[in-house]
Structure 1
Amino acid sequence: MEHKEEDVRLGANKFSERQPIGTAAQSQDKDYQEPPPAALIDPEELGSWSFYRAGIAEFMATFLFLYITILTVMGVVKSDTKCSTVGIQGIAWAFGGMIFALVYCTAGISGGHINPAVTFGLFLARKLSLTRALFYMVMQCLGAICGAGVVKAFGKHLYQSKGGGANVVAPGYTKGSGLGAEIVGTFVLVYTVFSATDAKRSARDSHVPILAPLPIGFAVFLVHLATIPVTGTGINPARSLGAAIIYNDKAAWNDHWIFWVGPFVGAALAALYHQEYTYRIDAITLSGNIVD
């Protein structure tokens, strides 16, 4: 405990909180000071190049995310035997690994959301403005459509005959089960985002911003392992929309609402839980004496 106060001082982030992932604001003093919430509407952002650069980063990240992950899915489903492919575990690693890599690459530019549900959760927590949130969601969806489109261009017949990586509720499960899986899966992801990028934790542990992409990617991996057999795992409305538009089959559109409602509900619950429970408990701890 003799080095705890020094750790807090050295762990303080010197940059203002404009992006929620890996760049949350910190006071240079040993005690944490919560930055003000983002403005609901921030017209000044529209005149800033960094605003558009962040949107481009979200587009490119989601494009690469869909390209790698849907291509991996196609590689698995085209084979008659999964033993000759990477299997479900490989698909889960592709999704989790790409999130890890892309969050690491884009955290300092856009915050590395790559998911409208993450953006929505952080917006509810007032970590970014409505202007930026809507811009991010549009760019994420466009990137996802383009990423899935490139995969289809590699083999249209294969893509259409093997489901196009689109999310649907698997036979044997009800729509309610699929919705529940999406809500809980997205809760796990968004709560991990909040915890891994918590500014208060950054004040105590200077290594957290560097490690933030790892638990986020690992959460995506674990959720995919659990829910691929149920819904193919959405937990990302842009990912589901991109695959559904390019695949464009009735089966995908019948269940599509689940992959928007579920992730948004899960993200809202994660934001509420973190802000109203975890946040308040940590604030009380930091406002008092430093404890183990």
Structure 2
Amino acid sequence: MPTRRYVVGRADEATHPDSMRAALAEFLATIIFVFAGEGSVLAFDKMYKGRTTDTSTTPARVVMVALAHGLALFAAVASSMNVSGGHVNPAVTFGALLGGRISVIRALYYWLAQLLGAIAACLLLRLTAGMRPTGFMVAYGTGELRCMILEIVMTFGLVYTVYGTAVDPKRGSMGTIAPLAIGLIVAANILVGGPFDGGAMNPARAFGPALVGWRWNNHWIYWVGPLIGGGLAGLVYEYMIIPAVEPAHQTHQPLAPEDY
């Protein structure tokens, strides 16, 4: 059985119930992730409102935000993995698309669901917290190019982890810890990238707060960087790590392209 295939999609895929269920799972999982992730930023700002010192890049803030993102993504991926593959990120979907794991139609559905989920989460935060979403921004003196490269590197690590734990046909029992591994790599990367550009690794995560909070400074970085990093990770893992032909003694059933 081939490990990959590149297709636009079946004629009935756009209206197939499985596609609808998968898109809904991505929509709800993205709401869970973005609500907790962006909510942690707003909660920290709420707790320290009125302080005379700048708390935007304190160690406590970075750790709190990283932990919230890691735990929320763990839950979001775990709750949607059996339905949609648990992408919760346009960069992950892009990597899977370039790797031949999903069709173009399914990818378009996922992207739309993820963006709408991020917007819905930020609207809920605006309603419940009464605060304008903060989103992401480049730290003073860092530079856009450096931050774009940082996003490429961090997202490469994220999507490479997704492939190694959730996509690789030889993953075996490793698939059971995929949501945890994915959440941990995101938390770890935020500890690295948080002080520089926030550590997005996810265009949807950046787009929701930017639209609802209307903060567009340096926004292009959070699309270009993650998509390049995710795409590279998908191609590298597919063509350099996963064998082109499954070995005859394969005991674990590969994940079908339409399921991831």
Question: Normalised by the shorter chain, which TM-score bucket?
Answer: 0.7 to 0.9
Of residues 269, 283, 287 in structure 1, which corresponds to 2:232? Answer: 269
Per-residue CA deviation, residues 232-265 of structure 1 (Å, 9 max, x unaligned), is: 111100010001001103xxx1301110000000
Instruction: Spell out the pairing of 1:161-176 with structure 2 (5 A cutoff).
Output: 164-176=133-145
CA deviation after TM superposition for structure 1 residue 85, in Å: 10
Structure 2 distance, partners of 1:144, 1:108, is 21
Per-residue CA deviation, residues 97-139 of structure 1 (Å, 9 max, x unaligned), is: 1111111111011111100000010001110100010111011
- Whether 1:42 and 2:42 are equivalent positions in the alignment is no
Structure 2 distance, partners of 1:208, 1:121, is 20
Of residues 244, 247, 254 in structure 1, which corresponds to 2:213? Answer: 247
Given the superposition, is the C-alpha separation of residues 68 and 50 from structure 1 closer, same or farther in structure 2, using an over 3 Å criterion? same
> Which position in structure 2 is the counterpart of 1:102?
76
CA deviation after TM superposition for structure 1 residue 140, in Å: 0.5
Given the superposition, is the C-alpha separation of residues 58 and 127 from structure 1 closer, same or farther in structure 2, using an over 3 Å criterion? same
Structure 2 distance, partners of 1:169, 1:99, is 23
Q: Is the 8 A contact 1:75 1:85 kept in 2?
A: no
Whichever of the two has the greater Rg, that structure is: 1
Paired residues, what number?
Answer: 244
Q: Please give the root-mean-square deviation of Cα atoms over the aligned residues, in Å.
A: 2.3
Of residues 158, 175, 181 in structure 2, which corresponds to 1:215? Answer: 181
230-239 or 44-53, which moves further after superposition? 44-53
CA deviation after TM superposition for structure 1 residue 288, in Å: 8.8
- Whether 1:151 and 2:119 are equivalent positions in the alignment is no
The residue identity in structure 2 corresponding to 1:181 is L
Of residues 88, 92, 114 in structure 2, which corresponds to 1:114? Answer: 88
Given the superposition, is the C-alpha separation of residues 254 and 165 from structure 1 closer, same or farther in structure 2, using an over 3 Å criterion? closer
42-51 or 127-136, which moves further after superposition? 42-51
Per-residue CA deviation, residues 150-171 of structure 1 (Å, 9 max, x unaligned), is: 1112344xx33xxx23111111
Instruction: Spell out the pairing of 1:1-292 with structure 2 (5 A cutoff).
Output: 33-35=1-3, 37=5, 39-78=7-46, 79=48, 80=51, 87-156=61-130, 159-160=131-132, 164-202=133-171, 205=172, 207-249=173-215, 253-280=216-243, 286=247
Structure 2 distance, partners of 1:67, 1:85, is 22
Q: Secondary structure at the match of 1:109?
A: helix
Relative to the length of structure 2, the TM-score reads 0.87
Q: Is the 8 A contact 2:3 2:245 kept in 1?
A: no
The residue identity in structure 2 corresponding to 1:234 is A
The residue identity in structure 2 corresponding to 1:259 is Y
The residue identity in structure 2 corresponding to 1:136 is Y
The residue identity in structure 1 corresponding to 2:148 is L
Structure 1 distance, partners of 2:153, 2:168, is 24
98-107 or 193-202, which moves further after superposition? 193-202
Structure 2 distance, partners of 1:65, 1:173, is 27
Q: Is the 8 A contact 2:168 2:242 kept in 1?
A: no
Give the gaps of 5 or more residues in structure 1.
1-32
Give the gaps of 5 or more residues in structure 2.
251-260
Structure 2 distance, partners of 1:211, 1:167, is 29
Structure 1 distance, partners of 2:85, 2:17, is 15
The residue identity in structure 2 corresponding to 1:59 is F
CA deviation after TM superposition for structure 1 residue 39, in Å: 2.3
CA deviation after TM superposition for structure 1 residue 96, in Å: 1.0
The residue identity in structure 1 corresponding to 2:19 is F
